[in-house]
A and B are shown apart, each in its own frame.
Chain A
Amino acid sequence: NAGVTQTPKFQVLKTGQSMTLQCAQDMNHEYMSWYRQDPGMGLRLIHYSVGAGITDQGEVPNGYNVSRSTTEDFPLRLLSAAPSQTSVYFCASSQGGTNTGELFFGEGSRLTVL
């Protein structure tokens, strides 16, 4: 079982460039989410999805876009990268609904914006 797979693991962008962070899960989980983690800080929720075709904003959504066309995939798009988006990004999934809510995380994507 692969669990949650994120690509790429590392990326360097120039200010203004766009890119997509990929996330796929093979556990048939309803719920998927993106968090960012900055040094010395906890995880902050960017966007989440409770099922295919349904997405919503988290705590820090500005500058990011998401879509969920399948249960398995939940890509995160940076439309015009800014240095403030330098961070480590984690994708996570959960059974969702009224279940217990424990999250399963990917290994992270480390993004540097110059």
Chain B
Amino acid sequence: EDQVTQSPEALRLQEGESSSLNCSYTVSGLRGLFWYRQDPGKGPEFLFTLYSAGEEKEKERLKATLTKKESFLHITAPKPEDSATYLCAVSPLSTNAGKSTFGDGTTLTVKP
């Protein structure tokens, strides 16, 4: 059974204070690992796809990395507008590409 565990559940940072979110996963053959951002009252919004260990993707202040067992979402010099819940998900090779298992998310709050 595919499993995704995210930590911490909640993270409070001061503006400019860099940190990382963790996503540990077990899957029988990884098609892709995904990061999504979810704002309150909205649907999740796709950020990154990572396919293989060692891969990195960047977007503005966010950088996602992947190993064989976990992924990290690094946030450099965060701003208040980065406050959101960040969701990690995996899609195994054995199923249709759209079928993903999600973690419970990390809620990030950035104080000015």
Which of B66-74, B76-84, B97-105 lies at the binding interface? B97-105
Identify which of A43, A101, A102, A108 contacts B41 (C-beta below 8 A). Answer: A108
Question: In chain A, what residue has the closest Cβ to B47?
Answer: A102
A97 to B49, CA, bound (A): 16
Which residue on A lies nearest to B93, using beta carbons?
A98
**Contacts A100-B49, A101-B49, A108-B43; is A42 near B102 (CB within 8 Å)?**
yes
**B-contacting residues of A (Cβ < 8 Å)?**
4, 29-33, 35, 40-45, 48, 50, 58, 90, 92-108
B96: A residues at CB distance < 8 A: 31, 48, 50, 96-97
Contacts of B32 in A (CB 8 A): 100-102
Could you tell me the distance in whole angstroms from the C-beta of A5 to the nearest C-beta in chain B? 11
A35 — which chain B residues lie within 8 A by C-beta? 102
- Asked whether A101 and B43 contact (CB < 8 A) given A50-B96, A93-B98, the answer is no
Chain A residue contacts of B103, Cβ below 8 A: 42
Chain B residues with CB under 8 A of A31: 96-99
Could you tell me if B91 and A101 are in contact, using CB atoms closer than 8 angstroms? yes
Could you show 6 A-B contacts with beta carbons less than 8 Å apart? Answer: A32-B98, A43-B102, A45-B99, A93-B98, A99-B97, A101-B99
Beta-carbon contact of B104 and A103 below 8 Å: no
User: Pick the contact of A103 from B31, B98, B105 — CB < 8 Å?
Assistant: B98
